[in-house]
Structure 1
Amino acid sequence: MRAAIYLTLATLFWAGNFVVGHAAVETMAPLQLTFWRWALAALPLLVLAQAIDRPDWRAVLRQWPRLLLLSCLGMTGYTLLLYSALGHTSALNASLVTAANPALIMILAVVLFRDRPAPVSWLGIALGLAGVLLVLTGGELHRLLTFSLKAGELLILAAITMWAGYTVLARRQSLPAITSTAVQVAMAAAVLAPIAAATGTGLPSDPAEAWSLAFIVVFPSLGSYLLWNLALKRTTPANAGNYLNLIAVFTAIITMLLGQPITVPQVLGGILVISGVLLTSVGQRHGGPQRPRSSKSTSSSASSSPAPAPRPR
């Protein structure tokens, strides 16, 4: 139940990132937005990690290769590609490609770690994808016939591939969630700093840009990444990935609150998405991810799964 709350809030904040980020990239470069997003979030996260997790920093830094890989995938790569795509594609095409993310995460988990999700999980994925398509096409599914991949859609496809890899690999590391997130964010800021300095990337001077950046730092950056990593300590990548379909629903709700009316297809699509999320969650609770049986199943499971930790998740 706690994982469901974490994932729901994380996707709500990320829906805000789509809305605010789309407006921000009209006047800010993707590199500028990405660098300052992580540079401003790094210090608060490190302080929070020290206050709550009190980690052995030497032991944490011994895992720097894995943490750097996660940072390059989930922070640097995904974010740069996402903001670049938002400047080159429509919301419909971008969201259609993003809707493939839960299925991609599940497939990667199957291929890389031989996870065997229960059949109900695949049904949940299908329901969620159908709901997203219904929301985004306004019930006019024939619009899918004119769908084509251009530069923006290819950038989104690359972005969700980065995120799928991040989600699957993040499940396999055993550091406290806050500490892991803080180090990854700090690494992203450090990697991007020389490039930002060379290109003269400064803080935004326009008040609207500053408020957009502040929102992105606090909610999609600090909030969503912490909540996502906390949830991955309590559930599988496939189950977490299915919640990404809620981004489209929350985006529709946010746009409605901003003055745009909500339609019947959006309501019906939202019901399908939420049903898919609940169905997958039920499948995970009662069946859980299945793995091929072998004589070494017990020992391999113990060595590959993160040990339960008493500290806050």
Structure 2
Amino acid sequence: MEKHHYSVYLKLVFVALFWGGTFIAGRIVSTEVPHMIAAAGRFFVACLCLLPLAWKLEGGLPKLSRQQMLATLGLGASGIFFYNLFFLAALQRMPAGRSALFVSLSPIVTALSMAVIFRERLGWRKWLGIAIAFIGAAIVLTRGELMQAVHDLSASMGWGEAFMLCAVASWTTYTILGKQALKGLSPVAATTYASLWGFVMLCIGAIFQWSDFNASRLNWQVQSAIVFLGVFGTVIGFIWYYEGVKALGPARTAVFNNLVPVFGVALSALMLHEPILISMVVGGLLVMLGVTITNRSNAAPPSSAEKAN
């Protein structure tokens, strides 16, 4: 662990804590407010914080090149619009702790995607880690009833699980695009532009859900949850995550997502009184073991792309 990266690692641990907390906040919000409106509220709060921050730290937002505009648009679509759409839809249908465990798959999907897109070779050790991670995910997905799922997958996997898998795919896209978006852009600028793009998209979607909105359901718990999602889950979390991607690369940064389900499950048990199933513990540990094996070599010498940073 490089000495000058200690602060980056510490920030990524706190990012995992904040994002673990978003599952609890998201669960509270998703049951009371239409998804597009809730997500738009989250990024309204985020943009209110990000714009003054960008002016204070960097004197404003830089003018984007065509490539940067497309990259930040992609970040807004994948990590803001689609992720929040799938994220809140999943939390409306399944417990927060169980949803958080699906985030463990993000580093595996990221590693596979990097291998396909950038033709990175996966050795036998990485394939072993991937296999272990997917076995663990299957245990979580089926609540330990693997054989029953073989005969009737619909008995174990519902719309909540399907939406959460889509959220993982959206976040993988966001992580990979983040590497490209950071070329010539600071974490603050990239996060602000991505949030602005995403906010516009969510506002358009919110128009179609406005008839389902009931202002009386915006109690202090829901309002506090939206503020937490906007400030800690977005502003602080996204900027520090971007710093990790820029300093360590996408694969090494994605490893810290292992801590998100740990915090998510623990917080959901403490705050929402959700049960912790044996299948969640066993499956979650297998996923984290698999991810550790898969990304072990990525943490040892940095790749040429990482050295460029």
Structure 2 counterpart of 1:188, one-letter code: G
Structure 1 residues 33-182: aligned runs within 5 Å: 33-54=38-59, 57-59=62-64, 63-89=68-94, 94=99, 98-116=103-121, 120-126=125-131, 147-148=153-154, 149-173=157-181, 174=183, 175-182=185-192
Over 3 Å counting, the alpha-carbon distance change for 1:179 and 1:134 in structure 2 is same
Q: What is aligned with 2:230?
A: 217
Q: What is aligned with 2:299?
A: 285
- TM-score when scaled to structure 1? 0.76
Shift, 1:91, TM fit? 5.6
Structure 1 residues 222-237: aligned runs within 5 Å: 222-237=235-250
Q: What is aligned with 2:267?
A: 254
C-alpha distance in structure 2 between counterparts of 1:44 and 1:164, whole Å: 25
Over 3 Å counting, the alpha-carbon distance change for 1:141 and 1:181 in structure 2 is same
In structure 2, stretches of 5+ residues that fail to align are none
Q: Secondary structure at the match of 1:41?
A: helix
- TM-score when scaled to structure 2? 0.77
Q: How many residues align?
A: 295
Q: What is aligned with 2:25?
A: 20
Shift, 1:252, TM fit? 2.2
C-alpha distance in structure 2 between counterparts of 1:94 and 1:194, whole Å: 27
Q: Secondary structure at the match of 2:93?
A: coil
The percent identity for this pair of structures is: 26
Deviations 1:33-62 (A, max 9, x none): 110101110121122223334466224687
Q: Aligned-pair RMSD on alpha carbons?
A: 3.5
Q: Secondary structure at the match of 1:47?
A: helix
Q: Please say if residues 92 and 137 of structure 1, whose CA atoms lie closer than 8 Å, have aligned partners that are also in contact.
A: no
Q: Please say if residues 167 and 237 of structure 1, whose CA atoms lie closer than 8 Å, have aligned partners that are also in contact.
A: yes
Q: Please say if residues 46 and 195 of structure 2, whose CA atoms lie closer than 8 Å, have aligned partners that are also in contact.
A: yes
Q: Which moved more, 1:104-113 or 1:123-132?
A: 123-132
Going by fraction, where is helix more abundant, 1 or 2? 2
In structure 1, stretches of 5+ residues that fail to align are 290-300, 309-313
Q: Which moved more, 1:262-271 or 1:75-84?
A: 262-271
Q: Please say if residues 249 and 266 of structure 1, whose CA atoms lie closer than 8 Å, have aligned partners that are also in contact.
A: no
